[in-house]
Structures are given as structure tokens and as C-alpha cells.
Structure 1
Amino acid sequence: MASFSPKPTKRYNVRSISMPTRSHPTTVRIEEELNKLKSWEATSTSSNCSKADSLCKGLSGLKDLYSCIEELLHLPLTQKALSLHQNEKWVEELLDGSVKYLDVCGNTRDIILTMKESVRELESAVRRRMVGDSSVQDSVVAYVSFRKKMKKEVVKVLATLKQMDHKNEVFPLDLDNHLAAVVRVLREGSLITSSIFQSLLLFLSTPVSKPRASRWSLVSVLVQKGVLACENSQHKTMNGMECVDIAISNLFVDNASEDVEPEKIESAQRKLEILDESIEGLEDGLDGLFRLLIHTRVSFLNILSH
């Protein structure tokens, strides 16, 4: 199985070109949106907000970017220039990229939807534990199993993104100023899109320890490290799923007793609710982006069919 760096590779090495003295206003707006996203990417790891909140901002920035790209593709000047080069390899790559990012977004959205269902089932089980039902273990087993399966799906999507990145290295020569600017911003847009999706997928694939044979060890990964509370200041950088792992683990620290402190149950419930809200935000961001990627794909097809 392919292995991936814990941080997405940042690659904006598209060949430099001479911009026209007066770029089209739409191209300028795309440049501004790209700069915002690059700034977001540079500061996202040091942001005070949660990783999920940061990723929601990244997805929101991508939606703004693709709204501008859609406007750019509707310009008669852009349509004429692209149609004149529709048999070029780099045009085919742009078209191919439009459908592959659509597929990546759709696959990621499917992962998010399944994850939301799994989290809510676990949330319901913990809620039942609060009223004395001790059958939460099966739900925990199912949640851990889902997380492992999800990681395998994420690896496949990441592999697709890595392959797409390698196709954006050669810049076409001898283009007029406007078309050169269009191709450049589209390719930079592809690279930042790939980078943000990689960040999102790596967040979703937070590793889960291999379960042991003991009764309560299915959720003991972080307990083994002596970590018993996500609220501790030294763990502020943990993402929502790591916090849930800790809170669920805390329910089963004392193997000798079936009694669990109400505070631990409430903490697990709270962490699951926070994670649920984060997933909702990511789902909304992906839904909006998916619609825009469809529009971009259709615009490309309309241009190249004339």
C-alpha cells in the first residue's frame, strides 16, 4: 500500500510567464483568490481554530475560487482562445482534471456522509450509556472498524491526487497573453485544490490503533500514552477525532468496574457532538464545491464541443 507524508506537498512550480500589462479583471480576481488560499495554507497549521474549522475555511475559499473560474470560462475571449487549442495535450489535461477533481470531491463527500452516520450511531450509544445501558462496546467496535476502512479509501483518493499533481509541471509555450494567464491560473487552481483535498483526507484518516484481545482495549490507543483529557492545554492541537478517541477511551479506563463517572460520559457525548458539527460543516462545504465543479466541467465541455 502506498504511503503518504503527514502533510500535503505544496507545489506551485508552474512555469513563470509574462503577464499582460492589463490583465482581465476576472483573471485578477482569480489571482486574489489564489493568494488568499495560499495564505490560508501557510497559516492553517498554526491557526487557533480547530483543524475542521480551518478546513471549512479552505473549502469556502475553493468555492470562491471556482466561482471566479466559472466566470472566466464564460468570457468570449477565453472560450475562443481555448477552442482554437482544443486538440492540444494541455487542453485535454485541463479537461481531464475537471472530471477527476469532481470525482475526488464526490468520493470525499461520500466518506464524510458515511462518517457522519458512524459518529451519530456512536453518539446514540453513549447517550444510552448515560441512562444505564452498557451495550456501547458493539458501537465502539463498529466505529473503530469504520475508521480503518475509511483510511483505506482515503489512500486510494490520495493516490489519484498525487498522480494529478505530476501532470501540472509542463507549461504550454507560445500562447497569447490572455490564454497564458488563463492556463496559469487554472493550473495553480488545480494545485491548491489538490493540496486542500489532501489536507482534508489526511484529517479524516487519523489513525486508529489495532484492537487488542482484552475487553476494553478497542479504544485504548491514547490511554496507553497516559492521555486522559483532551481539555489539557498541551493537547489543543488534537483534531476532533483524536479528542473523541480519548473521551471514549476514558469511559473504559477502569476495567474492574462497570460504573463510569458521569463526567466522563458527558465529556464523550460533548466531544462527539463537536465532531458531528464539524462533519456537518465539511459536508456543507463539499456540497457547495461539488456543484461548482460540475459547472466548471460543463463549461469546459461546452467550449470544446464548438
Structure 2
Amino acid sequence: MVGVFRRSLSFPNKIPSRTSSKPSISHHIRSISLPCRSHPLISQLRDGVAELHCWATQPESRTSAWLADGLTRLKDLHDCLDDILQLPQTQESLRRQPNSVVENLLEDFLRFVDVYGIFQTSILALKEEQSAAQVGLRKRDELKVSLYVKARKRLAKEMGKLITAVRCINGRSAPPLVCVGDAELSDGIGDVVEVTVTVSLALFNVIATSFGSKKSSWMGLRRLKKKKKAKKAMVEDEGIVEFQQVGAECVLFGLRKKSDEEIRKASKKMQELETCIGGIEICGERIFRGLINARVSLLNTLTM
């Protein structure tokens, strides 16, 4: 006799809780809009912008060290921006935008490049006149010293033209990026452009004020729509301390009547000024190269 076997069903000993909010199968969700809010480069960029705004509003006396610090910070900020622009996700984000958006950015950076190229040329010309003036100072040659005085005034006028050019950059308004996920990237690039305008106006204004008439003011910064308190503080500035000290103490005329001690003191001040200008020249050169790198990265976005 054959036994009859019933089919049986087996159930797990533990019944999963119905109230559990965790799904049985996990899915990995990847963001498609990088760099995102948590990206360290975006945070670094934002911190750099904030630090430069604080630098621009420092109430202490303007010195060459203060100016070099601001230019160095700006160079680091542009390096950070270039690192962001090198990211494939950033390039993909920019390609989604209308060509006019990237083209406007390219135009802004081209103007920055032109401005800092002219600045470098002007600083080099001043250095040459200053070297000749130091020789003339030791030989009591008033002609060479007077040429240096004219070069200082000429530099101040050239800085005024650069101020006007930078204000034009600040007045440009690029269309917003079309994707919501790209808003932070757009804000970051816009902040870099804005703070570059602020630092550039600070640079050109203090040099114009130091080497030109004291009536030179921070008129360029008054046109900015933001940071009104920062602009008010900058208007009261009177230029770089070391530059003005040389202008006051280096008795530029009547050299034949001055004592040897007065000539030695004046020569020492001229050497100190040469060191200060050399430091500013190096910082300006670094910013110039950083601007070129950022523009090349933007240009690659259109051509790739």
C-alpha cells in the first residue's frame, strides 16, 4: 500500500515588519549635476570669495604687503575656478547652456586678460624708469629723476583707463544658466567675476592714488551694486604707504643742494619701493596667467 504525501509550503520563521520603511532592494542614486553643493571645490571657491571681500574692507593702512596678499588670494581663487572648469561634469553642465552664456563669460575673461596685460606692461615701464632714477639719484642727475616723476604720473593716468575698462566688465549681465541643478555653478562663476572686479579696482585705484593726484578716488567701486559698505571704506583710502613715502622723502628736485645723508636715505627708499613694485609685478603676472587658463578651459567647453 502506497502512502499519500501532502504537499507542504514552508514559510520563514520571522515575518518582516510591515511598518519597516527600508525597501527590500536598495538602489544607488547618482547625481548628474556635479559639482554639487557638497563638492569641496565649490566650498573652497565660496570661502575664497568671502575672504577677498573681507580683505577689501580691512580698515588698516594700505601697504604693499596688504596688496600682495589680496592679489595672491585672487590668484588662488582663479586656480580653484580652473580646477572646477576642468571637471567633466562642469564642462557637461556648461554645454547644456546656450552658447551666449559661455561666450559672455569668455568675453569677460578676455577683457580681464587685456587689462592685466596692460597693467604688466605699465609696471615694467615704471621699473625701467625707476632703475634709471636710482642711478640719477646717486649722480645727482635731476633730468633722470624728473623723467621718473613723469613716469609715475603717466602710470596713474593709465590706471584710470584700466579702472574704466574694469567697470565695463562689472556692468555686463550674463543670462542665467537654464538648469536648476546648475544654479550653484552659475553663482560661483559670477562671484569670481564680481570679486575679480573688486580686487582689480582696489589694485588700480591705490596705484593711481599713490602715484597720481590725491584727488583720485574709488569712483569705480561706487558703481558696484553690492557691498556698499565695502565701497565706502575704500573711498577713504589714500594709497599705498610705501609708495607715498618715497614720493615725499625722495627729494626729487634740487638734488645738488642735498647732503650725502639725504641722498643715501632717498636711495634706500627707492630700493625699498623697487622691491614692493617687484612683488606686485609677480602677483600680477600670476593673475594674468590664471585668467588665461580659465579662459582656455571655458573655450574648450565650446570646442570639445
Is 1:74 aligned with 2:86?
Answer: yes
**1:169-219 deviation digits (Å, cap 9, x = unpaired):** x66164332x2111111111111111211121122223547xxxxxxxxxx
List per-residue Cα deviations over 1:116-169 (Å, max 9, x = no partner).
1111111121122xxxxx3x210122012212222222222111101111114x
Q: Distance in 2 between matches of 1:298 and 1:160?
A: 21
Instruction: State whether residues 120 and 285 of structure 2, in contact with CA within 8 Å, keep that contact through their aligned partners in structure 1.
Output: yes
CA deviation map 1:47-79 (0-9, x unaligned): 5xx522111101100111011101100111110
Q: Is the 8 A contact 1:144 1:208 kept in 2?
A: no
Q: CA deviation at 1:21?
A: 8.1
Correspondence for 1:100: 111
**Long gaps (5+) in structure 1:** 1-19, 129-133, 210-235
Q: Deviations over 1:264-283 (max 9, x none)?
A: 11221111111100011011
User: Out of 146, 149, 154, which is 2:151 matched to?
Assistant: 146
Structure 1 148/22 Cα, relative in aligned 2: closer, same or farther at 3 Å? closer
1:164 to 150, 160, 169: 169
Conserved? CA contact 1:251–1:265, under 8 Å: no
Q: Deviations over 1:76-106 (max 9, x none)?
A: 111001011142x333221111111111111
Q: For residues 235-268 of structure 1, what are the alpha-carbon distances to aligned partners after superposition, in whole Å with 9 as ceiling and x for unaligned?
A: x986223211212237639xxxx44223311221
Percent identity (aligned): 28
Q: CA contact under 8 A between 1:112 and 1:283: conserved in structure 2?
A: yes
1:303–1:115 CA distance, 2 compared to 1 (3 A): same
Contact 1:86/1:304 (CA < 8 Å) preserved in 2?
no
Q: 1:187 aligns with which of 181, 190, 193?
A: 190
Q: Tell me the secondary structure at the aligned position of residue 85 of structure 1.
A: coil
Higher mean alpha-carbon deviation, 241-250 vs 115-124, is at 241-250
TM superposition shift of 1:113:
0.8
C-alpha contact (below 8 Å) 2:68/2:283 kept by paired residues: yes
Rg larger in structure: 2
SS in 1 for 2:68: helix
Helix, strand or coil at the partner of 1:46? coil
TM-score, with structure 2 as normaliser: 0.74
List runs of 5+ in structure 2 lacking aligned partners: 1-34, 214-237
1:272 is aligned, of 262, 270, 273, to 270
Offset of residue 23 of structure 1: 2.9
Q: Which residue identity does 1:172 align to in structure 2? A: P
Please identify runs of 4+ aligned residues in structure 1 that moved more than 4 A: none
CA distance in 1, matches of 2:177, 2:258: 68
Specify the code of the residue in structure 2 equivalent to 1:188: D
* Distance in 2 separating the partners of 1:239 and 1:125: 24
Partner of 1:58: 70
Bigger relative contact order, structure 1 or 2 (CA pairs below 8 A, ≥6 apart) = 1
1:283 aligns to 2:286 (yes or no): no
Q: Over aligned residue pairs, what C-alpha RMSD do you find?
A: 2.3
Q: Which residue of 1 aligns with 2:298?
A: 300
Task: Give the secondary structure class of the aligned counterpart of 2:57.
Answer: helix
Look up the SS of the partner of 2:179 in the other structure. Answer: coil
- Measured in 2, the distance between the counterparts of 1:173 and 1:303 equals 15
2:137 and 2:145 in contact (8 A); partners too? no
In 2, the alpha carbon distance for the partners of 1:151 and 1:238 equals 13
- C-alpha distance in 2, partners of 1:106/1:25? 31
The residue that corresponds to 2:15 in the other structure is none
